[in-house]
Amino acid sequence: MKVSYYPGCSLEGTARSYDISARRICRSLGIALEEVPEWCCCGSSPALKMDRLMSTALSAQNLVQIEKQAVEQVVIPCPFCFRRLLSAQDEMKADVALKERVQKIIQAEMAGALQIRNLLGFLRYQVGLEAIGAQVTQPLSGLKLLPYYGCYLVKPTGVTHFDDPEHPVSLDELLAALGADVLSWDLKTECCGAGLSLSKTEVVVDLTGRLIREAVRQGADALVVACQLCQANLDMRQAEISRVEGKAYALPIIYFTQLMGLAFGHPARILGLNHHLVDPLPLLKEKGFA
């Protein structure tokens, strides 16, 4: 199967381990990822907040590039890029005047009929648990994992489509297919503070503190994420959370793609598992996975 792949800016910057592990597991599953040629930033929340036309035009520029690839679907690991490209296509479908205006700005025409998928949803529902399970050579038995979806991935209702916005299960099911012990909790879709890590650090420390505290209380070995902002916030702020609470926290924050790679038999270092601030390698070694 060949699909278009839109990595987004973070995956070539601070979240390279997400990109590396995503490409690795797709290769194992027989999925050819063809990177979008000359892709650009979707504008993320700054463009969406400050200028709707800019945000839609940047997404449209990418949609045009994807349409040139002659594929039916594009797979996007970053929840925000996914939501932005999907919303832009839907908004232009519903508003012909907006589409014409945007086409003038990007000086190109688009068909607007792409299937836009988030990587997690694509693997869970298009590839399927059976095909994923068939690649598992090292089941993650005995690893107690808490799935954390964050708030961009499955919200808002009626936009992202692929899972329940309040009680999503796709990541739970995928981790269970890898043989892990999947724990349940109520904070699956709570916000981690997302892009405010630099400008409102205290808010992010407060929000991630709630998540880390509850995850530890639940007895999790690690939190599993599908978003590079969630990963960075939860991984990076544990030292500050520990300082504020007077209690040392060191909970590994791992991408689901890294765990898939591990279960598929790829070495931990090749999956970038040595790149996180809270090192997951001691835990994985103790459990016999690395």
Partner 1 sequence: MYSVATALCEMAAEAGVKPSEPDIHRFEDLFLKSVRKYGRVRELKTVMQYNLLTLRPFKDAGQGMQLMLKGAISPLEMVKGGKKNPAVERIFARLDRLRHGESLDEG
Which residues contact partner 1 (rule: CB under 8 A)?
Answer: 9-10, 12-14, 16-17, 38-41, 43-55, 57-58, 61, 104-107, 156, 195-196, 198-201, 236, 239, 272, 274-277
- 3 state SS of 186: coil
Among 170, 67, 156, which residue's Cα sits nearest to residue 109? 67
Q: Are 148 and 211 in contact (CB under 8 A)?
A: yes
Q: For 172-209, b where at least 16 C-beta lie within 10 A, e where not — what string?
A: bbbbbbbebebbebebbbbbbbbebbeeeeeebbebbb
The least distance separating partner 1 from the CB of residue 218, rounded to whole angstroms, comes to: 26
Closer residue to partner 1, CB minimum distance, 43 or 168: 43
Neighbouring C-alpha atoms within 13 Å toward the C-beta of 172: 11
Compute the least distance from the CB of residue 52 to partner 1, in Å: 5
User: To the nearest whole angstrom, how small is the minimum distance from the Cβ of residue 51 to partner 1?
Assistant: 6
Cβ neighbors of 152 (< 8 A, separation 6 or more) are 79, 80, 83, 194, 227, 229
Closer to partner 1 by CB, 135 or 197: give it: 197
- Min dist CB 272 to partner 1, Å, is 7
Residue 127 or 252: the one with the smaller Cβ distance to partner 1 is 252
User: Given the structure tokens 């459990």, which residue do they identify?
Assistant: 287
Min dist. Cβ of residue 198 to partner 1 (A): 6
* DSSP-assigned letter for residue 279: -
Beta strands across the sheet bearing 222-225:
181-182, 144-148, 222-225, 253-255
**Minimum CB separation from partner 1 for residue 204, in Å?**
11
Question: Rounded CA gap, 183 and 166, in Å?
Answer: 16
16 vs 161 by CB, closer to partner 1: 16
Residue closer to partner 1 (CB basis): 14 or 126: 14
DSSP 221: S
Between 144 and 275, name the residue whose CB sits nearer to partner 1: 275
